Amino acid sequence: QDFAVARSAPARPTLGSPMGAATWYAIGNVLSSVAIVLVNKRVFAAGFHFPFTLSFFHFCFTVVFYRLLLACNLFELPSSPMPEADKFKVAFAGVASIGFMNVSLSLNSVGFYQVTKLTIVPVTLLINFYMYTVSTTHKVKLSLLILLAGVGIATVSDVDLRPLGLAFGVLAVLSTAMFQIWQGTKQKEYGMSGTQLQYSVSFYQALSSCGLSLAVESFCLAPQQLDGRGECSDSTMAFLSQWRAGRVPDGIVGTILATCFLALLVNWCSFGLIGKTSPITFQVVGHAKTCLVLIGGYVFFPVAGNAQQLYNNIAGVTVAMFGVVLYGHLKHASSEGKPDCLDSCCPAPISRCLDVNKYATVSPSETEGLTRHDPDDSKRNTGPD
């Protein structure tokens, strides 16, 4: 009878459970992110290569969308209002992340840009530890190390950087890490959902991106932006003039509107995923998405190229996906209160070294909304002898 009770205790994840909701947020994030990349490429190919202006449209659309839902009583404001200073802080970090990442990519090689994205995970771990006293087990760090190593092998081919590019890369990593951390902490601090946080910061995001758009994209600031007659040809104002004259591809407005819908969906899934889990899990999902895109490219769009790079890509994706699966397994085993695969296959001394705080009380942020914490867990030892 005791055995039957023990077997029936863990509940299967449902859509309404934290784990079930996190799974759907992760799936939605992957699908919407891939879709918006493809649609954004069409927008840029049509001559509208102004990321801050496009982001401004996205955030304005988000503001209008939630205002309409609020007017139709289909959206509820958070019970605990978020201070304006915190709204601006989170919004500015999000816009700064977009801006610094784009500048870093323009100043450095694609290889260094990929390295920049990989460093977000360890920087997030350090900020969580020193600023929020949130620690992570050595097991999870091991799975993250495997994941990052695989993604690095698959995506980093050349690393060429300049001092100015390095500075913007550091700013990009810090702003991205803080933005993702605040997405989680502010939801918990003010008891709001991901959509409520998205609504709260969208106005300041629109305001910040508008300022950046006016400053760097609305006018020609460099000689290479001028055409042969000395007129400005590479700015939002110039594009607007060309659109009015009918010299841009048809349907560009509809395509931009489609990116607004997709951006709303991407942000909704991102805010929801981080609120249900953590910034680290969000980064893991992002790197898994990169691997899936690479796999899709190998399968559906094979191209002839450097054989060594192809082998590196395949090996890297394999290693990275192993890290993703291991990370998910460790989190699931922790949520179910069961021994994981490392407990089963590693000698007891190594298991204890990998998870020295397994039975200690941990921060709710570390459990990522998936682990049921029992104060008596510190008195029980379910690991290997």
> 34-87: per-residue pLDDT in tens?
888 888 888 888 888 888 999 999 999 999 999 999 999 889 888 888 999 999
Residue 358 has pLDDT above 80, yes or no: no
Look at residue 370 and tell me whether its pLDDT is greater than 50: no
What spatial distance separates the first Cα and last Cα of the chain, rounded to whole Å? 26
Which residue has tokens 């694609």?
A: 110
Q: What percent of the chain is predicted at pLDDT more than 70?
A: 82
**Rounded CA gap, 107 and 102, in Å?**
9
Tokens 């390295």 locate to 115
Contacts made by residues 139-145, CB under 8 angstroms, sequence distance 24+:
139/330, 139/340, 139/342, 139/354, 139/355, 140/280, 140/327, 140/330, 140/331, 142/326, 142/342, 142/354, 143/323, 143/326, 143/327, 143/330, 144/280, 144/284, 144/323, 144/327, 145/323
pLDDT at 217: 87
Q: Residue 297: which H helix or E strand, with range?
A: helix 279-300
Give me the chain's average pLDDT, please.
Answer: 82
What pLDDT, in 10s, does the model give residues 103-137?
888 788 777 888 899 999 999 999 999 999 888 88
Residues 169-183: what's their mean pLDDT? 95
pLDDT at 167 (0 to 100): 92
Residue written as token pair 């460790």? 330
Q: How far is CA 163 from CA 28, 120, 132, 168, in A?
A: 37, 19, 31, 9
Answer yes or no: is pLDDT of 364 > 50.
no
Q: Find all residues with CB under 8 Å of 43, minimum gap 6, and list them.
A: 54, 252, 255, 256, 259
Please tell me the predicted confidence (pLDDT) of residue 359.
45
Helix (H) or strand (E) holding 138: helix 138-155
Global pTM value? 0.79
